[in-house]
Amino acid sequence: MQRTLTRTWSQWLGQLMVAGVAVGVLLVWMLLSNDPESHAALALLLYVPYPVYLLPALVALAWSFSLGWRWRLLALASLLVVLTVLMRPAWGHADEGYRRVRLMTYNVKSYLATQRPHGLAEVTLEVMQHDPDVVVMQDAGDFQNPSPALKTIFGNREVYAFGQYIVASRFPLKDCQPGSIPYSGQNHSFVHCVVSVNGTDVDLVTVHFVTPRDGLNAARSSGVKGLGAWRDNMNKRLTQSGVLAEHLRLMKRPRIVAGDLNAPERSGVVQDLLDTGLRDAFSSAGLGYGYTHGHSLWPGISFLRIDHILVSGEIGVSDAFVGGKVASQHRPVIADLLLVRH
């Protein structure tokens, strides 16, 4: 009798868990599908580490094996939604074309790299490993001086540097200059260069939007009271992306935007830029999740894709992938682009 009661309670708990996980996954799916940045609290869902969704789904699936087949199907469906809809893997396919250019974007956190004994060597090795024709960096101000650092990392590439940004290219650069994307009365910049590749001129923009760190910390430490700080932080990025989008609409050449946007692709921040006629290179030709940030935090795994390469429709993408996690708090994103797309 006691064993029967124990088994009954275990089944009830298992069913309750499987059903609860399924309802929770469905609710998050619905909230993320309907402009989460319309409300500050919902926008936080864009930055939740995926293990928060994945681990309960895995536990529910394991527990469901002691239940009936309907419960196993429900738990499996929940897990599949987490792995696909919530974690957003890319299932891209390669474009066809020619005039290939390999581009790399990398938030190098140079102020941290210069403090490590082998920081410069680690960044250099990451660049050498992927051997990009064009590399753009953010948070790279400490690599601009002394000049030997530029030579070590970029070799014979032509280099333009401004503020935190570096653009280095095997192809000629021209008309390089900063642009303004102010927010809340504060100055902030991006860099725009024209890259000339065998007769084809391309507008290249590298940008680093405001970090969500302060807003996320406020929401995590102060709960509801911190939502105001998070809302302000979120709106700063949306303001920046809106201003940059207006700059992009004035550019008539093929366009590339590469940098640390501090927002996942489904965010309105990235959507503002995509609405100018761009597409995400990793989503177009990458395979897998492509997470670039989070590995410097516990438990040491990347869980957000906030670094992006965006290209206009004239440009093909034959491959896109992310690099290693040793040299920076951000993995680089690398894309093989085709300036003549079939």
Q: Which two tokens stand for residue 292?
A: 């670039």
Q: What is the DSSP string of 95-154?
A: --EEEEEEEEEEE--HHHHTTSTTHHHHHHHHHHHH--SEEEEES-GGGSSSHHHHHHHH
Average pLDDT over every residue of 37-48: 93
Helix (H) or strand (E) holding 21: helix 2-32
Q: What is the pLDDT of residues 53-67, one digit of tens each?
A: 999 999 999 999 999
Predicted confidence (pLDDT) per residue in 205-262, tens digit: 999 999 999 999 999 999 888 999 999 999 999 999 999 999 999 999 999 999 999 9
Nearest to 121 by CA among 108, 105, 134, 133: 108
Class (C level, CATH) for 91-341: alpha beta
DSSP labels, 157-216: -EEEEETTEEEEESS-EEEEEEEE--BTTB--EEEEEEEEETTEEEEEEEEEPPPSHHHH
pLDDT at 266 over 80: yes
Residues in Cβ contact with 117 at an 8 Å cutoff, skipping those fewer than 6 apart: none
DSSP for residue 267: S
Res 144: pLDDT: 80
Residue ranges per structural domain of the chain: 2-87, 91-341
Residue scoring higher pLDDT (161 or 147): 161
Q: Is the model's pLDDT at 101 over the cut of 50?
A: yes
pLDDT at 5: 46
What span, in angstroms and rounded, lies between the C-alpha atoms of 221 and 234?
A: 17
Share of the chain above pLDDT 70, in %: 97
199 φ, ψ (degrees, to nearest 5): 90, -10
Q: Is the peptide bond before 146 cis (omega within 30 degrees of 0)?
A: yes
- DSSP single-letter state for residue 328: S
158 and 131 in contact (C-beta within 8 Å)? Answer: no
Look over the chain and give the mean of its residue pLDDT values, rounded to a whole number: 94
Q: What share of the chain is helix, strand, coil (3-state, %, to 5)?
A: 45, 25, 30
- Whether pTM > 0.85 for this model: the answer is yes
pLDDT for residue 264 is more than 70: yes
pLDDT of residue 8: 78
At 30 the pLDDT is: 95
pLDDT tier at 150 (50, 70, 90 boundaries)? confident
For the cut 90, the answer to whether the pLDDT of residue 3 exceeds it is: no
Amino acid 9: pLDDT: 79
Token digits of residue 53 = 């969704």
Query: Which residues, at least 6 apart from 314, have a Cβ–Cβ distance to it below 8 Å?
Result: 254, 339, 341
Quote the pLDDT of residue 7: 59
